[in-house]
Amino acid sequence: MRIGIDARMMGKGAGIARYVEQLVLALGKIDSETEYILFVNSSSRIPELGNNFRLVFCDIPWYSLEEQTKLIGILDRENLDLLHFPHWNVPLLYKKPFVITVHDLIMYHFPRAEATTLGPLKYFFKDRIHRVVLNHACRKAQRIFVTSEFTKNDLHQTLKVLLEKMVVTYQAPFETHASVDMQRRASLLQKYKVQEPYILYVGSAYPHKNLENLLRAWKIFKQRDTGGYTLVLVGKRSAFYERLIQMKEMQEGHDVIYTDFLEDEDLELLYQGASLYAFPSYYEGFGLPPLEAMAKGVPVVSSSATCLPEVLGDAALYFDPKSPENMASIIEKALTDEDIRLDLQIRAKEILMQYSWEKLAKTTVKGYHEIFSQLSSN
């Protein structure tokens, strides 16, 4: 069986790039029989893999016209039995069997011009084209891997995808092994002027991430804060973070630090000293960042929206993401009640045992084989 994987985004970072990297690594550990063809570009971060993996280089950008035209010929030359697209950006004219992974339907639930740096007209056409491509991919895919039961039901309700066509494959925190280097950690905190104790948020500043309300909640919390806490925001600098920095809650100086993007090793050092991790998102398809915080022993407070209670279970304290007052109260509770903090850390260890990339890979391979058997019998 020859399985292709569109791995052009595989590499270090977040989101789909990490998903592809971890899926490929896990497949390499559990499956030495299948022949895997990885379609990568010259900037892909390619791990060491077994002899059953082969690379095909194709420097074609995501969401481009070339992706809809030139990529098809490259894929067809490999005579694949099945192709796995890790996102919904499938060429409309690709005719051979494929599966996709759908991570979320943010474009349907947050179709707002402020969620982009494009002008209104460009945004309108981009959004409509993306919806056409996504709908086509969902209709034509042999199977759809989804990130949670919430995403499965969202696809069913929003796009009328049959429930039996979808398979839930939960992701897992990424393993890091940075040692506790106190001198390096002290230098890192000094570099970004981070004062201990602090609470942490790691991620983008897209509108659905709801950082505006987190800042409003932080202003409320600081009015009653006796512990001298700092809020630390970590994420790649973008137009969305620039907008956030202009908010009066950032400008007025309420002990908020923005670090920009951090490499994994430095981020690990920052996690090691965090008193709490806050995740205020309005919408997630899975919600990996709070799980990563739990894996590093940091108690978590989270929005109660969408999939987050499903994924985090009873290992987080939840707040209403629309209410800065409620968010502030839950943050205060999680910082000051030692019994709750210990309980969250104990429950987190139990929750984390449910998730592994090996489990995800086994479910994915099972799906590949089932589809291959169905295609062979037709």
Give the pLDDT of the chain (378 residues) as one tens digit per residue. Answer: 999 999 998 876 668 988 999 999 999 999 999 999 999 998 877 888 999 999 999 999 988 999 999 999 999 999 999 999 999 999 999 999 999 999 999 999 986 555 555 566 677 778 889 999 999 999 999 999 999 999 999 999 999 999 999 999 999 998 765 566 788 889 999 999 998 999 999 999 999 999 999 999 999 999 999 899 999 999 999 889 998 988 877 777 679 999 999 988 899 999 989 999 999 999 999 999 999 999 999 999 999 999 999 999 999 999 999 999 999 999 999 999 999 999 999 999 999 999 999 999 999 999 999 999 998 887
**Cα four-point dihedral sign 186, 187, 193, 199:** negative
- Where in the chain are all domains bearing CATH 3.40.50.2000? 2-172+356-377, 182-352
Listing DSSP states for 329-364 in one string gives: HHHHHHHH-HHHHHHHHHHHHHHHTT--HHHHHHHH
Copy the structure tokens of residue 134. 């996504």
* Domain spanning 2-172+356-377, CATH architecture: 3-Layer(aba) Sandwich (3.40)
Q: Are 132 and 87 in contact (CB under 8 A)?
A: no
* Domain spanning 182-352, CATH architecture: 3-Layer(aba) Sandwich (3.40)
Pairing relationship of beta strands 198-202 and 230-234 according to DSSP bridges: parallel
**pTM, entire model:** 0.92
Q: Are 3 and 82 in contact (CB under 8 A)?
A: yes
